Amino acid sequence: MSTLLIKNARYIISCDDRDTLYERCNLFIRDNAIEYIGPADRQADQVIDASRMAVYPGLINTHHHLYQIFSRNLPEVQRMELFPWLVTLYEVWKGLDEEVISLSSQVGMGELLKNGCTTCFDHHYVFPAHAGDLLAAQFRAAETLGMRFHASRGSMDLSQKDGGLPPDSVVQTIDEIMEDSQRLVRVWHDPDRFSMRQVALAPCSPFSVSGELLRESAKLARALGVRLHTHVAETKDEEQFTLEKFGLRPLAYLDRLGWTGPDVWYAHGIHFNDEELRRLAVTGTGVAHCPISNMKLSSGVCRLPELLELGVPVGLAVDGSASNDGSNLLEELRVAYLLHRLQNSKTAPTGYDLLKVATRGSARLLGRTDIGYLAAGMAADLFLVDLDRIELAGAQFDPMSLLGTVGLKGPVDYTIVNGRPVVQQGQLVTVDEAALSAHANECARRYLGRI
Ligand SMILES: [Zn+2]
């Protein structure tokens, strides 16, 4: 049993049901949970002096492709939109193996943790034959870094010869996918409170999987009690694809295959019409908002103010590193704030609204009731920011909106996951950052054939 006291915090931004802002209070952690927030002092094994700090709930990333860390900033794809970008990059991704997955996951999780993110969902959907046990490599990476991790058994069964986008070498049969999905859920999925590892089923997108795979995945996920995720309404190309092939818009197509409901969330969700937004709200189907990727790939702007107004579950996400090109959810929060200010002015979410999207909203997408805000009985996932850093001088009047309106220009001071400090003084404590970076660069050069 261990105890940790966050002592005399200047502010604790709880994001709880009453939007409580604590001033000059203590936060006491026993093992992996918050036991107390308030003025009383407590003895603890470890004490962090938070007298200059703001304490925030850990951010939750609801859509990533960590393997893309090693295919970011490639000059040949920088002027492309989604479909040609994917077709070009699949030629790189078909060379994935366990080492690439392990090191890219560690690098991405490291950057996420250094920027206040405590839980990450990764959408992995490229499984080349003989590439090894890729999800096992990801769960080991998360354990090494100390991150709460939701993996996905993604899938593709529609290759170029069947009218899809990916090459033949990265698609699998439905039987192979179903069998491996069951195995991974059995081995890795922990549904309990404070779980550090979960698995979702996540066929890639309507233009790389068959309708049968979508239907079978939905059936299996519900039988196993796990969640469902895919890319939807990201581009106009996708809309044209489902209209031409099935005579339906993307949401109607997915709805028909059992892909709406409170256990389903989509990445992007940009090109929905008014009726479709209402359908999301009625069914409780969620959206992972990925503003930087959407800007980079010229995909469009998600109708976030309307989604929030209608009560659609919305979380924040960085998307894959090849379309971002990084893993910084704090940066995403600030970009989201600015993007919707540009688009909407009066109805745009505030900085604090976006903090709640990145915490409570994201937790809802992952089906978690134990993370997303700070209160006694919740998981001890949080991060601390020294308010006396020079970039924040003169900007301390609204700590609740600060991360959106001003943003952070460097790593957070502390990140605590499941009661354990994994970032201290802005540095990862679980790995040697310089050694990891050197190893990752060496692996990336081999993988990309650029030695
Ligand atoms: Zn994506």
Q: Following DSSP, what letter does each residue of 331-391 receive, concatenated?
A: HHHHHHHHHHHHHHGGGSPPHHHHHHIIIIIHHHHTT-SSSSS--TTSB--EEEEETTSGG
Q: What is the DSSP letter of 265?
A: E
- Distance (angstroms) between ligand 1 centre and the Cα of 275 equals 24
Q: What is the mean pLDDT of residues 330-352?
A: 97
pTM more than 0.85: yes
Instruction: Give the pLDDT confidence score for residue 164 in this predicted structure.
Output: 87
CB-neighbour burial class of residue 122 (10 A; exposed 0-12, middle 13-18, buried 19+): buried
For residue 63, how far is its CA from the centre of ligand 1 (angstroms)? 6
Sole residue written with tokens 């054939």: 449
Nearest to 52 by CA among 430, 376, 387: 387
Give the Cα separation of 358 and 57 in Å (integer): 9
* C-beta atoms surrounding 308 within 10 Å: 20
C-alpha torsion 242→151→376→358, nearest 10: -40
Whole-angstrom CA distances from 323 to 37, 86, 276, 319 are 39, 10, 26, 7
> Tell me: the pLDDT tens digits for 185-209?
999 999 999 999 999 999 999 999 9
Q: Give residue 84 CA to ligand 1 midpoint distance, Å.
A: 15
**For residues 78 and 94, what is the distance between their CA atoms, to the nearest angstrom?**
20
Among the listed residues 240, 279, 234, 288, the one whose alpha carbon sits nearest the alpha carbon of residue 260: 279
Percentage of the chain modeled with pLDDT above 70: 100
Q: Provide mean pLDDT across the span 209-234.
A: 98
Q: Which amino acid is located at 96 in the chain?
A: L
Amino acid at 255: D
Phi, psi of 141 (to 5 degrees): -60, -45
CA of 25 to the centre of ligand 1 (A): 40
Whole-number pLDDT of residue 423: 98
pLDDT tens-digit readout, 126-167 = 999 999 999 999 999 999 999 999 999 999 999 999 988 899
- Report how far residue 360's alpha carbon sits from residue 90's, in angstroms, rounded to the nearest whole number: 34
Query: Pairing state of beta strands 286-289 and 264-268?
Result: parallel
Report how far ligand 1's centroid is from the alpha carbon of 66 (Å).
10
pLDDT over 70 at 451, yes or no: no
pLDDT tens for residues 293-318? 999 999 999 999 999 999 999 999 99
Decide if 62 contacts 316 (C-beta within 8 A): yes
What rounded mean pLDDT belongs to the chain?
A: 97
As a whole number, mean pLDDT of residues 22-43 equals 98
288 Cα to the center of ligand 1, angstroms = 10
Distance between terminal CA atoms of the chain?
A: 48
Per-residue model confidence (pLDDT) at position 163: 87
Give the distance (Å) from ligand 1 centre to CA of residue 124.
Answer: 9
Angle (CA) 26 27 32, round 5°: 160
Average pLDDT over residues 241-266: 97
pLDDT beyond 80 at 20: yes
**How far apart are the C-alpha atoms of 427 and 111, rounded to whole Å?**
10
For 230-243, the pLDDT digits (tens) are: 999 999 999 999 99
Q: Ligand 1 mean position to 33 CA, how many Å? A: 32
Strand 314-316 to 286-289 pairing:
parallel
Q: Say whether pLDDT at 450 is over 80.
A: no
